[in-house]
Structure 1
Amino acid sequence: MDDLALAAASAAVLLLAVPVPVHAASAAAPHRCEGGEVDSRGRSSVDGREIAWDDESKFDDARKHAIKVWTAGTLKQVTVKPDGATSYADLEWRDANSVTGQWTDVYGKWAARHGTDHLTLNRAYLDDGKRYGKAEHRRRVAAHELGHALGFCHKAYGYGTHHSVMWADYGLIEGKRINGPTSHDITAYHALWGRS
């Protein structure tokens, strides 16, 4: 082997031996999800580093709360803003009003679509006077669904020890009075979207 080939081989071995930076390793760390899913940028409403939204929902307070809690503190990597006259919405906030079929005991739902994704809140449960017809419930449901729009799956964290707004069971979120991303959700956010 000549000196040039030996130097190239040595450099390749050296590159492989360099440890991955801590921030890069944590960004790749999976966060346990139900059903074998994973948090995913590709399964989100995020376009580049933003979600431009349009509003067809009566629950403005819930939308404002969800956006506030998912963009607070260190959660700045994805901008969530209204769409403008020269842009297309990535996400449309909508309402449903049903207790049957796909809406049986479903208070909200995020759905990926070709074009604009839908984040739907179910008035049949969330309207005033209904089962969960108070602002605190609407805010929790909206925060959970916006979490899906940001790419987060239902978390399989231990329900008693690792709190998450992304638990699938709303009764548990309500019981723990989780109103937005917990420390575990914030860790998952940074693993998926990085840090500034």
Structure 2
Amino acid sequence: MTNYPFFSQFKYIIFSASLVLCSALSAQQQPFKKQSQSDFWEKVQFGGGLGLGFGSGYTDISIAPSAIYNFNPYVALGIGAQYSYVSQKDFYTSNLYGGSLIALVNPIEQIQLSVELEQLRVNVSVEDDFNNSSNTRNFWNTGLFLGAGYRTNNVTIGGRYNVLYNENDAAYSSAFMPFVRVYF
């Protein structure tokens, strides 16, 4: 066999040149991680609800921030937190706090369907004026809400129904609840 030292060196030169060229081309592209981070945050919306109610000896304060991730114009998933304080002077005081997971489906632009799983810790204290005593209950309440609403821009107005509602151990007085949902 004849030895061709030029071709042997030529292979090394081509190999080295292709490595340098590939490295230079790769450096011109944006890193995948940065691109996916910006895409992720462009699809996230924040929102939630605030509630204030005052009356003669009655106070109701609630805050419920949430965030959703829009997979596409039709489907979104999100998480939320909630805290509520309700008090009727000389009768009733409650604190509710917990979190939720929500799935939103928009089959058409104006209609929004939702499924929300909510887990709340409920602390209730009821004053009994006749016996001069207090009854305290602390328990966990799980709700599975199915909802539907009319959507315009970032606002949805509708109702939801708790399919796990049990009036003996409930955090709410009714299984049906109206809602206003806002996401920015």
Q: Radius of gyration: which is bigger?
A: 2
TM score, norm. by length of structure 1:
0.23
Q: Which has the higher strand share?
A: 2
TM score, norm. by length of structure 2:
0.24
Q: Which has the higher helix share?
A: 1
